[in-house]
Structure 1
Amino acid sequence: MSLRRLPAVLVVGAVIAALLSGCSGDRTSPTAASSTAAVGPVASSSSSSPSPSATTTPDDAESPTTSATVPPPLPQPVASVPKVKRSGQPSSPSVTAPAAKFTAPVTYPDGVRLDIVRTVRATETGHGPGVMAGRKYVRFELKLTNGSAKAINLNQVVLTTYYSASKQLAAPVYTESAKTYDFSGIVKPGASATAFYAFAVPDSGLKKLTMVVDFDGTHTSATYSGAVVVS
């Protein structure tokens, strides 16, 4: 009789071994999952056991260890600002306008005009990706008025700003506190469009600043240069 029961005992033993193996896998899986989530600020936490606080939250963003403030970029002098090539638009502009001071508009002979409506000085605030808390920037409100007989495509507008005698490139600021809004869409004859652009510029850079607004392929880039008066 013991010989007939022997296979059953072996089967039961195998089942028990399999169950124990399954339980061991369940115990180790949470640890493996938590280790993959410990990236960035979480990895610097002093706690060694996984907990709900390991998940990034708005409160975590307020702590000094998660500040996105970083050193300013290395000097990047601007040698020249080439005209942007746009698909479906002229490869060479045919309508030109002279450069202007920041207090005057750039006016084209076909009736297109670009005004700097307002210039504001501000400092970056907040936390998160792309934010450099404490960095000063200048924010421009631009208005393009189409007084020509043709529509203007503003879906590929490129602004380049640099400052000081060394022509240091000014980094664009696209944070929530800056409230920027690019040009876009088609501006029909007689209509206008408004946009808001911000650039990181130190106080000394406001004395000698250049901003190049390349808004389409038909017109030369609108260029402003000189001292900037901010409000």
Structure 2
Amino acid sequence: MESANELVYVVDDDSRVRDALSTLLRANGRNVQAFSSGGEFLDTPRGNAIACVILDMRMPGMSGLEVQKLVRMDSLIPVVFITGRGDVPSAVLAMKDGAVDFLTKPLDEDALMRAVDAALAKAHVLQKEAENAATLQALYQSLTPREQELLPLLASGLLNKQAAAILGITEYTVQVHRGHIMRKMQADSFATLVRQASKLQIRTSPTTTFDT
């Protein structure tokens, strides 16, 4: 669906291609910013818009694959590659690195718009996942150091008395901390708490063994 908060970047060293793509995208209700090189695109500050980038594979200087790698390091912008030549090895690398599609010139307009729609849909999902991860990390940071120690022990399936023995505290204290953890993590069930711990990728020491 179209949105005023969506943006399509076009990166191609051929001005005719940039102009043609920009015209097509705007005719289909898309907001567009065009760049003549990967460096120019990477050097331009990006806001909070949901965005994707149509990226030429072969450009003077920085190649499309190099730009893709740098984009993936610090942003959530899906890539649609375009190229003037059928380049199977590059296409494989691009798709392995997460490209949404790989299209050859001359471009089929319908195929391009489908790829853009898919890329923007992916951008929405990536942003939502990032927001959820940030929220979960903020909840985790609200725990006290002791609660952060206890959470992975509980999530790994230990009984309260086992966790208490490891931390050198009473079972009752573990029960109190457990209640605080559930409340602060906004977990409506223990199963939810276990899933949260998994997403946070917190683990107990793999060398620690416990008696049942």
Q: Give the TM-score taking structure 1 as reference length.
A: 0.21
Q: Give the TM-score taking structure 2 as reference length.
A: 0.22
| Structure index of larger Rg | 1
Where is the helix percentage greater, Structure 1 or Structure 2? 2
Where is the strand percentage greater, Structure 1 or Structure 2? 1
